[in-house]
Amino acid sequence: MSNLILDAEALYTELRAGVQALWRPGMALMGIWSGGAWLADRLAADLPQLGKPGVISSTLHRDDFGARGMASGTDATKIPFSVDGAHILLLDDVLFTGRTTRAVLNELFDFGRPASVTLAVLVDRGGRELPIQPAFAAAKISLPAAQKLALAQGDDGRFTFTIEGDA
Amino acid sequence: MLHKRNPQLNHHGELIHLLSIEGLPRDVVTHILDTAGTFLSVNDREVKKVPLLRGKSVFNLFFENSTRTRTTFEIAAKRLSADVINLDIAKSSASKGESLLDTIANLSAMHADMFVVRHSESGAPYLIAQHCAPHVHVVNAGDGRHAHPTQGLLDMYTIRHFKKDFTQLSVAIVGDIVHSRVARSDIHALTTLGVPDIRAVGPKTLVPGDLKGMGVRVCHDMAEGIRGADVIIMLRLQNERMSGAMLPSAGEFFKNYGLTEDKLRGAKPDAIVMHPGPINRGVEIDSSVADGAHSVILPQVTFGIAVRMAVMSIIAGNDA
């Protein structure tokens, strides 16, 4: 276990401020399943002006399908607005290699042609393997590749981070 | 004690072929149904295609005629971005005397990744699965009287869609059960998913006697068989077998076992009526029922594509 302590609730407060700063009228919120979707739901509850968020899943466009097979328990993409011409604010909990973001962008374009896509994340943990950068990250940290950083949401809606694997 | 490994599963218990629902663990069946739910929404997109089987070749091998099942497999494979090759085997090499395994060896040399097989002999897809290369996957699209697992799975998807929970249901399967691989696959699937009350309804000549051992209640009286049922699965009366001694006439069968609005009133008020198609109007089902409010026959067809996409994507993602 790492000694690193990440206060997910404090970071959520920073993310909320970051999203407010990025927000423009006519934008649409979209959370990447699962952690990003939890964040989008909570932001939409805290800031009703953001509207009803969409949920987007990377499952059908993952590049590790051949090695990992079909993931189980993933929710299908649900987009309650038209993607064509939309300015989309995409949310994720942890940005690592960028491969999930790439898969999600492909998924998004199956629904239409957005005018723009902006990415905001709770934690940017480095280790990028693709040219993808967030417009906002509440925290930037460096973790060894073998460590897994995962967001969890309690029954009360509060967020916590767990770090698993060897440093 | 040694257990013979289920040839459909790899050493991790993951699905690598779909040959029969018999012997599949409940979580494997549920995973297929959940995945099908994901694919159902692909039909609502501007781009009705996902890249999971891009660069893979799916060979439809239909040794027995079928337009509908072959078409739904073809649509499913194409929506997964696979290259689909349809072989009308009945008209080609098999008629020149080539053996089944020689046909498979030749097609494997053409770099097939998946075989979708329909065959009049029970067990033919098993034989192919045992002899094909480790990276090749096999889907049974109906073998003899044995199994039609994707139909069984799409029936389960349909039931779950409309009824949500399997554990309180009464399901009646009505008609020509003895010839029906659909009935057999449905019974295995319903049992695996925990349905407590399964009934097989039909004349003595068309309901096999060994069903009681599968936990199925046999009824020869239609009214008794569908009384209080949540789900009624009508089977096609196989016209090609009508000339035998099994039945006096289609008219008499309809009188006793054809589903009419009047008979349907004995089921639950919110009962659903299913049929694997093609339907014989006025033989096993009255037109007013087939087109009526209880009928979910057309949703079955739509769900069938999503279920076949789920099966193909799951097995393609798992190594032997």
Cα separations (Å) of B55 from A155, B36, B58, B74?
A: 43, 22, 10, 15
Contact of B37 with chain A, judged by CB distance below 8 Å, is answered with: yes
CA distance B37 to chain A (A): 8
Nearest in space to B259 (alpha carbons), one of B230, B235, B228, B293:
B235
CB contact burial B250-259 (16+ within 10 A = b; e otherwise): beebbeebbb
Predicted confidence at residue B2, as pLDDT, reads: 45
Chain A contact set for B314 (CB, 8 A): 69-70
CB contact burial A5-27 (16+ within 10 A = b; e otherwise): ebebeebbeebbebbeeebeeeb
Predicted confidence at residue A1, as pLDDT, reads: 46
pLDDT digits (tens, 9 = 90+) for B161-197: 999 999 999 999 999 999 999 999 999 999 999 999 9
pTM: 0.89
* pLDDT over 70 percentage in chain A: 95
CA distance B320 to chain A (A): 12
Task: Kindly state the tokens that stand for A158.
Answer: 């509060």
Chain B contact set for A112 (CB, 8 A): 46
3-state secondary structure of B11: coil
3-state secondary structure of B173: strand
Predicted confidence at residue A164, as pLDDT, reads: 84
Percent composition of chain A: helix, strand, coil (DSSP 3-state, to 5): 30, 25, 45
Predicted confidence at residue A73, as pLDDT, reads: 62
Question: Is the pLDDT at A69 greater than 50, yes or no?
Answer: yes
- Backbone dihedral angles phi then psi of residue A149, each to the nearest 5 degrees: -105, 120
Quickly state the pLDDT bin for A122 (edges 50, 70, 90): very high
Rounded distance between C-alpha atoms, residue B304 and residue B297, angstroms: 11
Rounded distance between C-alpha atoms, residue B157 and residue A48, angstroms: 36
Predicted confidence at residue A87, as pLDDT, reads: 97
Rounded distance between C-alpha atoms, residue A55 and residue A29, angstroms: 9
Cα separations (Å) of B88 from B62, B85, B315?
A: 6, 10, 24
Predicted confidence at residue B244, as pLDDT, reads: 61
Rounded distance between C-alpha atoms, residue B84 and residue B49, angstroms: 14
Bond prior to B278 in cis (omega within 30° of 0): yes
Pick B93 or A95 by higher pLDDT. Answer: A95
Chain A contact set for B76 (CB, 8 A): none
pLDDT digits (tens, 9 = 90+) for B48-84: 999 999 999 999 999 988 888 999 999 999 999 999 9
- In the block, tokens 């404090």 appear at A10
Rounded distance between C-alpha atoms, residue B225 and residue B233, angstroms: 12
CA distance B5 to chain A (A): 21
Pick out chain B residues at pLDDT < 50. 1-2
